[in-house]
Amino acid sequence: MNDFARDPVRADVIVVGGGFMGAATAFFLRTHGLSVILLERDLIGQAASGTNFGNVRRQGRYLPQLPLAHRSRDIWGRLPELIGEDVEFLPSGHLLVTTRSDDGARLEQYAVDCKAWGLDLTMMTGDQARAMFPMVGPEIHTVSYSPHDGHANPRLAAPAFGRAARRAGAHVVEQAPVLSITKDSTDFIAETADGRVYRAPMLQVSSGAWGRKMAALFGEDVPMAPQGPQMGVTEPMPYRVAPVIGSASSVTDEGVYLRQVKRGNIVFGGGRRSTADLETKRARLDPMNTLRQMPQLARLLPAIARLRVIRTWSGVEGYVQDSLPIMGPSERVSGLFYAFGFCGHGFQLGPGVGATMAELIATGHTDIPLEPFRVGRFQRNAANAAAYSPHA
Amino acid sequence: MADPVIVVGAGPAGTRAAQRLVQAGLRPVVVDENERQGGQIYRRQSENFSRPAEKLYGAEAARARALHTDFEALRPHIDYRPGTMVWGVAEEGLLTVRDRAVATLPFSAIIIASGATDRIMPVPGWTLPGVYSLGASQIALKAQACAVGGAPVFMGTGPLLYLVAWQYLRAGVKPAAVLDTNSLATRLRGLRGMMTRARVLAHGVRYMAELIRAGVPLHTGITPARIEGREDGVTAIVWQDARGRLRRTACDAVATGFGLRAETQLADLLKCDFVFDRRFTQWRPRVDPDGRASRANVYLAGDGVLLRGADAAETAGRLAACALLQDRALPVGTDEIADLRGILATMDRFAEGIASAFPWPAHMAAALPDDTVVCRCENVTAGDIRHAATALDSPEINRAKALTRPGMGRCQGRMCGLAAAEILAAARGVPVEQVGRIRTAAPLKPLPLDCTVTP
């Protein structure tokens, strides 16, 4: 038994926050041979990581984020060999669909632009899409098809990475809220609610919607606010709908999406988001939003109208003002790293974020472009940042 | 005009609550999931049936008739919404659906009288066709004049086991056996409490005596081993008698129940505080003696909060209405409240007697074979839950649910949740209250996607 296993209060890296990003980072840090302590306030993957839709989607992303998404997609395909389970990842394809010609034109343009970023999409008319996927609704007239995207089970993914990290030798501490983080001449010192003190020369903040509070401890404010996605699931029907189907509508209430799991249930979400509370750690599911989603879902997939909704849920997600995450090194404190605020689109990125952050922390370098996600990008208009509200 | 008071449920508690509000000059909305008022114990038969009350309700015929006729008299004074399911709570009000029409009902206060369901303990084979909950077998008889089988076995525990078996006997269906997991010695422990209501106790004794006289085998202290059958139904139940011998009873149906579980989901959606009630070994909303929940303007009455039976539900319904009137500074006699509290105190002692005479056999959950299905919606076995408890390190039931799916399906854990919690607790070696309870989410029951919304 080495010193670390005996007395796991000091490590090379402390990861604060055991969502998908933190759990995956801890896992990949071990593959670089660094010792790591992962501190999770509740249980691994309970907030946004465990309650999101489960989209493993690259298409439609901000183009400079695609290298990260590609890296992540590659890892998604290798999960059984890496972490010992597939977390129900199905590379069953992804359809972005529209009923409006202006949205259709946007999709066409994206399909052209993303080629240079290494993503190949197939554009289809509604009829072409229906020939291939007969369940798609008659109103759909433009479809962008990404054949190698898909979906996975968010309830399983982060906990699976957490267990894999633990098996690989990470010290994973659950139900350990971090009360304070300070830094002396060499180490970050994190104190948890049970009075334990953990030390490491490097520290990553991956606290999701709570990341703002953590970054603020080091004088780096980020304009961000919590919101809750409005999710639901139907009773099962025979497995017929392979691809994820998402609306690319520019009208908020039309922007719903759905996926069928192999058990037969159809998971859905989209449209408006609801309020979330960082103190109670609860996001509100407004059942009126479920009612708003229903007719929109039936436009994408008319067969869904014959099913019943059996459950709805939400979770606390962190939304940054420019809808891009905070990812990369601190610009004020050496040894400090950030990966939080993934604005409701972090699930696909999880494994890639873990691999990239671990690489950055272990080697000081990564080829994945992170410039658009740097923490300091809001500094010039700090006043705006402080006043940011996503509902305004 | 101020928003109305909503009474949810038109069983004994809901009916008496609504009646008291009407007496005070209010016009409550009464939302009931059943097409006809009466609740479960006083469930009415379909309109085209004409069996007399005596035949349907036995010794409780007079009470049943009173509850029904009193409600009919209320009809002009209430906004009655039968066949209507409450499925959610929004800022705009209570969300209901009838047929496929969703309505939003604003309210100034709400009295929840949502009743209870059977409490289910899985047994190997319990998902075979021909296995019913006790309540379902009673509904078939009362509402439809149908028996669940020609030679049914009633297996489980609790007074309802004997009542329903007796009702079947009276209807001309001789039960193949009544199998009670609790021993006579255990039952005697509750005797003192049950003596507080000698009349009710006498009824129970009478049911048993008549079953015995008719030659129905009654066995106590049994442990069910498995229910056997084919795709087309049940053929037998195998059980261990009190002396440990394995026995087999041929039958064509099994009705099973282990006491009751309060339907508490609506109070959970309304964010009421919950407590673990040791007497009934389950979580329930916290209420004061008159039925006030932890949140203002929310009241609870009947078996939906405290499992004290139909008579107590009538009293508690009236008392909850009095509490509401009192909170609005409307005139209520302090004598009335004191009287109702006094009646309920007796009911409480009786209910505690019943609970200690027929305790929930938690140990059976721990002993279930790994391949027994616990959550029938999602086909989750006892072994899956134990895997969640140990290999996946789930300290509480919602985590186990997230990782291995018990309670994820159509019933949202209403049927399997209590047994799943026992299995998890046993596998973790902690008291059951420590693994918590399944969080409630809308819709409370499945909601059709093609419903229409009336503004």
- Per-residue CA distances from B46 to A76, B29, B34, B135, B142 (Å): 56, 23, 11, 17, 9
pLDDT of amino acid B277: 97
- Are B403 and A155 inside 8 Å of each other by CB? yes
Structure tokens, A190: 């994190």
Interhelix angle B309-327/B61-74, rounded to 10 degrees, is 30
Domain at A94-147+230-314, CATH homologous superfamily: D-Amino Acid Oxidase, subunit A, domain 2 (3.30.9.10)
- Are B450 and A294 inside 8 Å of each other by CB? yes
Q: Mean pLDDT over residues B52-71, rounded? A: 91
Q: H-helix or E-strand containing B137?
A: helix B134-144
pLDDT of amino acid A7: 60
**Tens of pLDDT, residues B237-258:** 999 999 999 999 999 999 999 9
Structure tokens, A218: 């080091």
Q: Mean pLDDT over residues A91-118, rounded? A: 96
Given the DSSP bridges, would you call strands B109-112 and B298-300 parallel, antiparallel or unpaired?
Answer: parallel
Q: H-helix or E-strand containing A144?
A: strand A142-146
Q: How far is A310 from chain B (nearest CA, A)?
A: 5
pLDDT of amino acid B55: 83
Four-point Cα dihedral B116, B118, B122, B128, nearest 10? -120
Domain at B5-117+261-354, CATH homologous superfamily: FAD/NAD(P)-binding domain (3.50.50.60)
Residue B449 CA from chain centroid, whole number: 28
pLDDT of amino acid A390: 47
Task: Please tell me if residue B417 touches chain A, with a CB cutoff of 8 Å.
Answer: no
Task: Please tell me if residue B103 touches chain A, with a CB cutoff of 8 Å.
Answer: no
Give the residue from A43, A261, A280, A306 with the most B CB atoms within 10 Å of its CB, the best one to mutate: A43
pLDDT of amino acid B455: 63
A137 sits in the region (left: phi over 0; alpha: psi -120 to 50; else beta) called beta
The CATH code for residues A3-50+155-223+321-387 is 3.50.50.60
Structure tokens, A102: 């202006």
**Tens of pLDDT, residues A170-202:** 999 999 999 999 999 999 999 999 999 999 999
Q: Which residues of B281-292 are buried (b: 16+ CB within 10 A; e: fewer)?
A: bbbbbbbeebbb
| A240 CB neighbour count, 10 Å cutoff | 13
Task: Please tell me if residue B376 touches chain A, with a CB cutoff of 8 Å.
Answer: no
Which segments of chain A belong to CATH 3.30.9.10?
Answer: 94-147+230-314
Helices (H), B358-428: 362-367, 382-389, 397-404, 417-428
- Per-residue CA distances from B24 to A29, A356, B325, B335 (Å): 69, 69, 8, 16
pLDDT of amino acid A387: 47
- Cβ-contact A257, A55 below 8 angstroms: yes
Measure the CA–CA gap between A202 and B31, rounded to whole angstroms.
59
Residues 17 through 36 of chain B touching chain A, CB cutoff 8 Å: none
- Are B446 and A309 inside 8 Å of each other by CB? yes
Q: Which chain A residues have a beta carbon less than 8 Å from that of B449?
A: 234, 294, 297-298, 304-309
Per-residue 3-state assignment (H helix, E strand, C coil) for A306-348? HCEEEEEECCCEEEECCCCCEEEECCCCCCEEEEECCCCCCCC
* Chain position carrying tokens 């009415």: B44
* Chain position carrying tokens 């290999």: B391
pLDDT of amino acid A391: 43
User: Is pLDDT at A383 greater than 80 in this prediction?
Assistant: no
Structure tokens, B273: 């505080």
Task: Please tell me if residue B380 touches chain A, with a CB cutoff of 8 Å.
Answer: no
- Are B412 and A310 inside 8 Å of each other by CB? yes
Query: Per-residue confidence at A3, pLDDT binned at 50, 70, 90?
Result: low
- Are B91 and A285 inside 8 Å of each other by CB? no
| DSSP conformational letter for A282 | E
Q: Which chain A residues have a beta carbon less than 8 Å from that of B91?
A: 286
Identify the three-state secondary structure at position B207: helix
- Are A308 and B399 inside 8 Å of each other by CB? no
Q: Which chain A residues have a beta carbon less than 8 Å from that of B92?
A: 288
Measure the CA–CA gap between B299 and B305, rounded to whole angstroms.
10
Does B5-117+261-354 match B362-435 in CATH topology? no
Of A43, A155, A307, the CB nearest to B449: A307
Q: Which residues contact B80 (CB under 8 A, 6 or more apart)?
A: B10, B30, B32, B37
Domain map of chain B by residue range? 5-117+261-354, 120-258, 362-435
- Cβ-contact A262, A90 below 8 angstroms: yes
User: What are the DSSP calls for A161-205, one per residue?
Assistant: HHHHHHHTT-EEE-S--EEEEEE-SS-EEEEETTS-EEEESEEEE
Task: Please tell me if residue B395 touches chain A, with a CB cutoff of 8 Å.
Answer: yes
- Are B449 and A156 inside 8 Å of each other by CB? no
- Are B408 and A307 inside 8 Å of each other by CB? no
Name the CATH architecture for the domain at B362-435.
Orthogonal Bundle (1.10)
The CATH class, in words, for B120-258 is alpha beta
Task: Please tell me if residue B447 touches chain A, with a CB cutoff of 8 Å.
Answer: yes
As for the ipTM of the complex, it is 0.94
Give the residue from A83, A277, A309, A313 with the most B CB atoms within 10 Å of its CB, the best one to mutate: A309
Identify the three-state secondary structure at position B403: helix
Q: How far is B327 from chain A (nearest CA, A)?
A: 29
Q: H-helix or E-strand containing B274?
A: strand B274-277
Tell me what the pLDDT averaged over chain A comes to.
94
Of A46, A163, A308, the CB nearest to B449: A308
Q: Edge-to-edge strand order for the sheet containing B5-8?
A: B79-81, B29-31, B5-8, B109-112, B298-300
Q: Which chain B residues have a beta carbon less than 8 Å from that of A286?
A: 90-91
Given the DSSP bridges, would you call strands A244-247 and A94-98 parallel, antiparallel or unpaired?
Answer: parallel
Q: Mean pLDDT over residues B289-316, rounded? A: 97
Q: Mean pLDDT over residues B131-136, rounded? A: 97
- More confident position, B142 or B329: B329
Q: How far is B34 from chain A (nearest CA, A)?
A: 20
B452 sits in the region (left: phi over 0; alpha: psi -120 to 50; else beta) called beta
Which segments of chain A belong to CATH 3.50.50.60?
Answer: 3-50+155-223+321-387
* Interfacial residues of A (vs B; Cβ cutoff 8 Å): 43, 46, 50, 155-156, 159, 163, 175, 234-235, 263, 285-288, 290-291, 294, 297-298, 304-313
**Tens of pLDDT, residues B388-415:** 999 999 999 999 999 999 999 999 999 9
Of A263, A286, A305, the CB nearest to B449: A305
Q: Which chain B residues have a beta carbon less than 8 Å from that of A253?
A: none
pLDDT of amino acid A6: 56
Identify the three-state secondary structure at position B193: helix
A12 sits in the region (left: phi over 0; alpha: psi -120 to 50; else beta) called alpha
Task: Please tell me if residue B430 touches chain A, with a CB cutoff of 8 Å.
Answer: no
User: Is pLDDT at B140 greater than 50 in this prediction?
Assistant: yes
- Are B441 and A304 inside 8 Å of each other by CB? no
pLDDT of amino acid A379: 82
**Tens of pLDDT, residues B199-240:** 889 999 999 999 999 999 999 999 999 999 998 899 999 999
Residue of A nearest to B96 (CA): A287
Measure the CA–CA gap between B237 and B250, rounded to whole angstroms.
7
Tell me the one-letter amino acid at B355: A
Beta bridge partners of A173: A39
Q: Which chain B residues have a beta carbon less than 8 Å from that of A305?
A: 449-450
> What count of residues does chain A have?
392
